Amino acid sequence: MHDLINRWISRLFNRGPGRSRSRPLFALAGALVGMAAAIAVTGLWHLGATAQPSDAPVELTMLLHVPEAQQWRTIADRFEAENPDLRLKIIEGPSATNAIEDLHTAAFILGDSPYDLIYLDVAWVPKFAAAGWLMDLRDRLTPAQLAEYLPGDVAGGRYRDGLYRLPFRTDMGMLYYRKDLLAAAGLEPPETFMELIAASEQLQRSQGVDWGYLWQGKQYEGLSAMFAEVLAGFGGFWVDPETQAVGLDEPAAIAAVEFLQRTIASGISPPGTTTYTEPETLRLFRTGNSVFLRNWPYVWNEVNRPDSPIRGQVAIAPMVHAPGERSGACQGGWGLGINRATRHPEAAWRALEFFGRADVQKQFVLENSYVSSLRSLADDPDIQAAYPQYRTWVEILDNYAVLRPPVPQYAQASDILQRYLTAAFSGSMTPTDAMAAAARETRSLLGTA
């Protein structure tokens, strides 16, 4: 046997007269073709194994960040129960929303995104729509149906003339405060920035509270959202959507940065604020050692859990503002869009319709303290009983909503603002220089330099 193989190999590679110059080449070519055939067969077999038979339930895939993925369990199960021919597979992603954005982007760039439904933050819509990754939904809804949603949320789903996102839930930034601490010191909830500082300082001195005002200052998207509110509170603006003018180097913006810088410098806010995102500030607030917290509606359920030390002691108010200006509440909010390259567009639309139904939204709101985008739920008696401040939330949004710039290059504009804000907070640049540089870079980004 051994001998046979030896002879075969030596014949294959023996350079005899005439034919053998091309023998090794033939051998190599044969080997390569064989390898290619093996790979092709394996690939096709794998494809065949994963192809669904035509009568199997259609499976829709969606990517959600972990905290919300768990909250969606009940309504996802209800969706599958009411639609036996559809399945909803929720893939859990990181809790940082810019990581989810990157995952979606990577999947879309590869050209074969596995996600049929896209859970969209309001800030992503212009970028995803401009890149042509989302299905246009404008013909699927009548204006009457759209009017049932809060107008800010619907606007957040538009890009140019198309509608790419159906609102699911809305979000707005607000001020949480310890009503027991304020009452003990005989103070009213603050309405202006100066009142906030004064109340914090007084309570830190007299009641021995550790921290006055907690906010998110890390270099991430939440910083832009938080800053948009303070900016609006001083009467400033970031980017005007009509004229594309940049307002970051105006006096109002510089005053906003100086206010935030002052909270850290005077000890009202912890020095670590420049590393805090929402979970860190919530954790600090829950220990009971702080008076004020700027955060989103989900905090309400968290601080009122049975094991929370500050259960029942928390109230909410719109963010503070400068005298003569209005409060600002950064409009967040999430909605559902459809991947333009999905293999199941009709099934995906049915899912969107289901999750936009009033009873499904009501169930979701009652289980988690989120705010639905449907206007009618604000009048629902069950919701009012569970969340007495629900009306306040909707009012804050109606009156004080601040949108972040709805431009496709929003990610880069936000990065620019984040970098220069953290430079100002850490003291490596003065607020004036930092904001001037931020304005300059944003103008050259938008092409309005």
- Among residues 97, 263, 269, 274, the one that binds another protein under rule CB under 8 A: 274
Tell me the Ramachandran region of residue 160: left when phi exceeds 0, alpha when psi lies from -120 to 50, beta otherwise.
Answer: left
Binding residues among 83-122 for another protein as defined by CB under 8 A: 98, 101-102, 105-106, 109
Minimum separation from the CB atom of position 447 to another protein (A): 8
What lies within 8 Å, CB to CB, of 139 at 6+ separation is: none
Q: By rule CB under 8 A, what count of residues binds another protein?
A: 41
Taking the complex as a whole, the smallest distance from the CB of residue 340 to another protein amounts, in Å, to: 13
C-alpha–C-alpha distance, residues 175 and 199, integer Å: 14
Measured distance CA(224)–CA(219) in Å, rounded: 9
Q: Beta partners for 321?
A: 192
- Out of 28, 36, 44, 184, the only residue in the binding site for another protein (CB under 8 A) is 28
- Interacting positions 30-59 with another protein (CB under 8 A): 31-32
Q: Which is nearer to another protein, 199 or 429 (CB)?
A: 429
Q: Which of residues 254-273 bind another protein (CB under 8 A)?
A: 270-273
Of 404-443, which residues contact another protein (CB under 8 A)?
408-409, 411-412, 415, 419-420, 422-423, 425-426, 428-429
Q: Which long-range CB contacts under 8 A does 196-200 form with residues at least 24 apart?
A: 196/292, 196/320, 197/262, 197/263, 197/266, 197/268, 199/291, 199/292, 200/263, 200/268, 200/291, 200/292
Site for another protein in 209-248 (CB under 8 A): 217-220
Asked if 291 and 214 touch (Cβ cutoff 8 Å), the reply is no
Q: Is the dihedral of CA 140, 391, 322, 288 positive or negative?
A: negative
- Residue closer to another protein by CB (options 154, 264) is 264
In the chain, the amino acid numbered 67 is P
Does residue 302 touch another protein according to CB under 8 A? Answer: no
Interacting residue ranges for another protein, rule: CB under 8 A: 13, 15, 24-25, 28, 31-32, 98, 101-102, 105-106, 109, 127, 130-132, 217-220, 270-275, 284, 408-409, 411-412, 415, 419-420, 422-423, 425-426, 428-429
